[in-house]
Homo-oligomer: A and B are copies of this chain.
Amino acid sequence: MGATGTVSSMVGKHDALPDSFDRFVEQVRALVEAWLSPWLEARVAEASARGPEVAVVAEALRQLVVRGGKRMRAVLLASAYIACGGEEVSSVVPAAAGLELLQAYLLTHDDWMDGDEVRRGGPSVPAALRVHFAGRAHGPSSADAASILAGDLAAAWALSAILELKLAPARVVGALRELGGVEQEVVHGQLLDVCAEERSEATVAEIYALKTASYTVRGPVVMGAMLAGAGADDARARALVEYAEPLGIGFQLRDDLLGAFGDPRATGKPLGGDLRKGKRTALVVEAMRDPLAAAAIGRILGQTEASEPDLAGALRALEASGARARVEGRISALALESRAALEKVPLVPFGRGLLAQAIVALTERDR
């Protein structure tokens, strides 16, 4: 089965499903937006009834969520649901929306920890809240507290959204078990990312598996499988885990490459932005093994005011050291590994095609 082109030949009984991956993505996005928009407005209304401070926090979250992102987690959940025999994508929209809210929670706490001011082309939630809340005499500022509470609120929303599913409760419970495990893994990964003293290649690999692969790919596809009625020890669920783990790492490695070499017009982020921010990505750790590259990169890593020529020199060093090519090679190998896992078990062909195309979308993207 090819991973590109239309998949109309595999539609079979799914007459209501669109005939290509791109249209499926559009359909899922439209369903998720249509569900989230009034749902978030209702949450903001509840917050407004409490007081203006609460309303400001809920509104900052609402804006982050509607500003979007690629909704790839929602697409992966819906694809796995179809692949495991689910019929109506609309049945899993509250769970797909819940993953978007989970991401809002994680992004909000991450952005606060990392001091990131911009997210999805607008202010990050901590940056938005700093406008409204001042310092306090003691302890963290009100703006800090409001940022943490914004993340906590989004986490509560994620749970409540998923519980609006109308599917059999046993399936909902199965999906939530996966969610609980993913939430623990993401925190483990973030702790390693923020607090670990040394940063070996092994640590970076573990952070990617825990912090990105778990909630970007594994959680969504396992939840989709559970919602279609697969048990946790189902061969399909196990195969989807084998599909998800390399794909999640490949997704993050592509992110690393885009964060260094990505075209700012496509990514919306400055050239070499990750380097200036001092992110010790797998790409950087790989290149630093070469002493010449290490010197060039060391000159600008974490230097937000680094000069353009120094930045260009560091990017050339990433190339010349072979690090860029090796990371590209790893992405290709991970994509193959992910694709092979899809062939191990019987899946509904249309859904299998969606999952195969998701590999391309996540690992060959330019933004």
Contact = CB atoms under 8 A, between A and B. Distances in A.
Interface of A: 43, 46-47, 50-51, 53-54, 57, 109, 112-115, 133, 138-140, 142, 144-146, 148-149, 151-153, 155-157, 159-160, 163, 168-170, 172-173, 176-177, 179-181, 183-184, 187-188, 190-192, 194-197, 203, 206, 210
A346 B47 CA distance: 35
Contacts of A187: 149, 152-153, 156
Nearest to A163: B177
A196 B138 contact: no
B155 A183 contact: yes
Main secondary structure of the interface of A (DSSP, over half): helix
B195 A146 contact: yes
A75 to B, nearest CB: 24
Contact of A159 (B145, B149, B179, B190): B179
Nearest to A106: B152
How many copies of the shown chain assemble into the complex?
Answer: 2
A109 B152 CA distance: 9
A106 to B, nearest CB: 9
28 contacts: A50-B192, A51-B206, A54-B188, A54-B192, A57-B191, A109-B148, A112-B148, A113-B145, A114-B139, A115-B139, A140-B144, A145-B190, A146-B191, A149-B187, A151-B152, A152-B183, A153-B187, A156-B184, A156-B187, A157-B180, A157-B184, A159-B176, A159-B180, A159-B183, A163-B176, A163-B180, A169-B173, A176-B176
B133 A113 contact: no
Contacts of A151: 148, 152
B146 A160 contact: no
Contacts of A144: 113, 140
Given A51-B192, A113-B139, A153-B187, 7 more contacts: A50-B210, A113-B145, A115-B140, A149-B194, A155-B183, A156-B184, A176-B176
A362 B115 CA distance: 42
A155 B151 CA distance: 12
A115 B138 contact: yes
Contacts of A192: 50-51, 53-54
Contacts of A210: 50
Contacts of A153: 184, 187-188
A157 B145 CA distance: 22
Contacts of A188: 46-47, 50, 54, 153
Nearest to A136: B194
Contacts of A142: 194-195
A175 to B, nearest CB: 10
Nearest to A132: B195
Closest 7 CB pairs of A and B: A156-B183, A160-B180, A169-B169, A115-B139, A169-B170, A53-B195, A159-B180
B149 A191 contact: yes
Given A50-B188, A113-B139, A153-B187, A181 B195 contact: no
Contact of A196 (B47, B53, B115, B155): B53
Contacts of A196: 51, 53
Given A142-B194, A188-B47, A163 B152 contact: no
